[in-house]
Structure 1
Amino acid sequence: MGKSSKDKRDLYYRRAKEEGWRARSAFKLLQLNEQFDLFSGVTRVVDLCAAPGSWSQVLSKEIFTKDHSPDARIVAVDLQPMSPIDHVTTLQADITHPKTLERIMEIFGGKKADFVCSDGAPDVTGLHDLDEYIQAQLILSALQLATCVLKEGGSFVAKIFRGRDIDLLYSQLGYLFDKVICAKPRASRSSSLESFIVCIGYRPRAGWKPELRPDLSTEEFFQDMGIGRARLHSDLAVDDEERKVAPFIACGDLNSIDSDATYSRGEVGRSLDPVQMPTAPPYKRALERKRGEQPSE
């Protein structure tokens, strides 16, 4: 969370720091839960692309209540290091690698997850078609792991960039879930293409056993799902294609904070300290060299 002029006047930014969240994105998951009751009955969760950890903070607070289940487990996975979070097991690992799946299942004691979420996004280039394609591939990579670790009836939530080809992704997710909904939390800026795909009621395809392998592309991973594609027969009869259209829902109180607006700071003159210092800042080596120190590995 930076300290630009706009950040200082963004009330979600200031509220996140005041309430101890590592990023303003925590409010997005809270608003999604308000709309869809995602945490009801949930005991085992996988948070993918989790750094810096604001979603894991929300999951820890919401799931580990006074009457939480003794089987409750939260696993946060990211390539970047993360500072510890109460009740959360952090893994610095690749979400596409089979060993990551094995480690998650070990932590869960061989039991499947109730909920898998991903707030990950690539470093955007400004080339919208490229950014949307890379984000779609990231979602499919997260979905690969989700299909291997998610129990039947479980839920999956991931960040998406809405573009002209997003209907194809909705359709692909519709093959595996009873409900697929595109949601826009109030905390997500309206000026951004960002939304969240909420998938409820996981149902594996009959006869299909997902297997996470590093040598398989996302297309190869899903190719044996047995999807009913449209086909024209010699007698001109047509087999209908399975396809779903995701409804769009706005989440959060419309009378609450406007994420696109900047507000006066009033008489508040003090600067709020960071909730969590950077764990691996890109400028670390430069600072060490400037001070004449030996760069750390």
Structure 2
Amino acid sequence: MGRSSKDKRDIYYRNAKEEGWRARSAYKLLQLDETFHFFEGVHNAVDLCAAPGSWSQVLSSKLEASDGKIISVDLQSMAHIPGVMQLQGDITKETTANKVIELMDGKKAELVVCDGAPDVTGLHDMDEYIQAQLVLAALNITTHILKEGGTFVAKVFRGKDIDILCKQLELYFDKLCLAKPRSSRTSSLEAFVVCNGFHMPPNCRPSLFNPLLNPDSCLQWDSLTEEERVVLPYVSCGDLSGFDSDCSYPLNMQGHAPYQYREPVQPPINPPYEHAVKLKRANMLQQP
């Protein structure tokens, strides 16, 4: 997988390779926890849309309880992560939720995280809508696998319709907050919603057969007024005097070890371009 020279000047990208994280996104979860401390008291945790696995790595390094379980769920296969049980499955399927509970010996998780995102198109309205649907899918399976009082952390795109998504989340959690980690580029629309105090609404039964935004759901969207829009607190996470994710830094910086190229911590598994690369190499060998 090719990387541009700009990636090499991205200080978080470089640090991730040096410290053994599979992706720079590991720092986002670490900086979120520095502010919200949601790792405290957690024994069982689930990482949804986990590939390539950097958030699962963070969970494995921070949750030291020997009797707990960490489950990573993704449609793609991932290389093994010590201390993490991997489940290749679809988060919109009830069988996946049941399998997660089975892997946790019938218990539920105190923490569910989701850093999943679609392949962005550049059409902001489309990207925001698809991301919101992904978050709702993650929320839907979370209602099956998260225990009462648990925490849910997910990536969102801040757009004009985020109020609708936040209103839906507000039905299931006592406290919500939007956060922007220092390692998240300022130019990006991404933010992370941290939801504390999970509870099921009255007369609501979790189901993966009906979407959460079904007109028959417990929230009547047509009855909402302008005064009912949700305005969440918005905080910046991480050391504000540290590295700026939008800046490019020289490869060799004063006070740091000389730059040394490192291969990716986790190369792609069965990438779609693998067959084309093999054909190209074969053609090169056949040439005189």
TM-fit CA distance, 1:178: 0.7
TM-fit CA distance, 1:280: 2.4
Residue in 2 aligned with 1:219?
213
The 1:127–1:228 alpha-carbon spacing in structure 2 relative to 1, beyond 3 Å, is closer
TM-fit CA distance, 1:115: 0.7
Residue in 1 aligned with 2:286?
none
- Structure 2 counterparts to residues 174-185 of structure 1, below 5 A: 174-185=170-181
- One-letter code aligned to 2:22: R
TM-fit CA distance, 1:59: 0.2
Q: Distance in 1 between the 2:22 and 2:159 partners?
A: 29
Residue in 1 aligned with 2:114?
118
Indicate conservation of the 8 Å contact 2:163/2:229, yes or no.
no
Q: 1:137 aligns with which of 133, 140, 157?
A: 133
- One-letter code aligned to 2:266: Q
TM-score relative to the length of structure 2? 0.91
Residue in 1 aligned with 2:279?
289
The 1:256–1:177 alpha-carbon spacing in structure 2 relative to 1, beyond 3 Å, is same
- SS class of match (2:213): helix
Residue in 2 aligned with 1:189?
185
Residue in 1 aligned with 2:24?
24
Q: Distance in 2 between the 1:184 and 1:192 partners?
A: 10
Q: Distance in 2 between the 1:194 and 1:139 partners?
A: 12
- One-letter code aligned to 1:288: K
- One-letter code aligned to 1:127: L
Residue in 2 aligned with 1:274?
264
- SS class of match (1:219): coil
Indicate conservation of the 8 Å contact 1:175/1:243, yes or no.
no
1:251 aligns to 2:237 (yes or no) = yes
- SS class of match (2:58): helix
Residue in 2 aligned with 1:52?
52
Kindly, what percent of the aligned residue pairs are identical? 55
Q: Distance in 1 between the 2:76 and 2:102 partners?
A: 21
Q: Distance in 2 between the 1:9 and 1:231 partners?
A: 50
Unaligned runs of at least 5 residues, structure 1: 233-238
Q: 1:264 aligns with which of 232, 238, 250?
A: 250
TM-fit CA distance, 1:219: 2.1
Deviates more, 1:131-140 or 1:259-268: 259-268
Residue in 2 aligned with 1:92?
88
Aligned residues: 279
TM-fit CA distance, 1:245: 2.1
Residue in 2 aligned with 1:236?
none
TM-fit CA distance, 1:207: 2.1
TM-fit CA distance, 1:141: 0.3
Q: Over aligned residues, Cα RMSD in angstroms? A: 2.2
- SS class of match (2:116): coil
TM-fit CA distance, 1:90: 0.9
Residue in 2 aligned with 1:235?
none
- One-letter code aligned to 2:238: G
Q: Distance in 1 between the 2:232 and 2:19 partners?
A: 34
Residue in 2 aligned with 1:42?
42
Report Cα offsets for 1:155-205 as digits up to 9, x if no partner.
Answer: 001101101111111111111111111100000000100100110110111
- One-letter code aligned to 1:144: N
- SS class of match (2:177): strand
Indicate conservation of the 8 Å contact 1:175/1:242, yes or no.
no
1:127 aligns to 2:123 (yes or no) = yes
1:76 aligns to 2:72 (yes or no) = yes
- SS class of match (1:280): coil
- SS class of match (1:34): helix
TM-score relative to the length of structure 1? 0.88
- Structure 2 counterparts to residues 199-238 of structure 1, below 5 A: 199-213=195-209, 216-220=210-214, 223-224=216-217, 226-227=218-219
Indicate conservation of the 8 Å contact 2:9/2:249, yes or no.
yes
The 1:223–1:42 alpha-carbon spacing in structure 2 relative to 1, beyond 3 Å, is farther
Q: Distance in 2 between the 1:19 and 1:9 partners?
A: 16
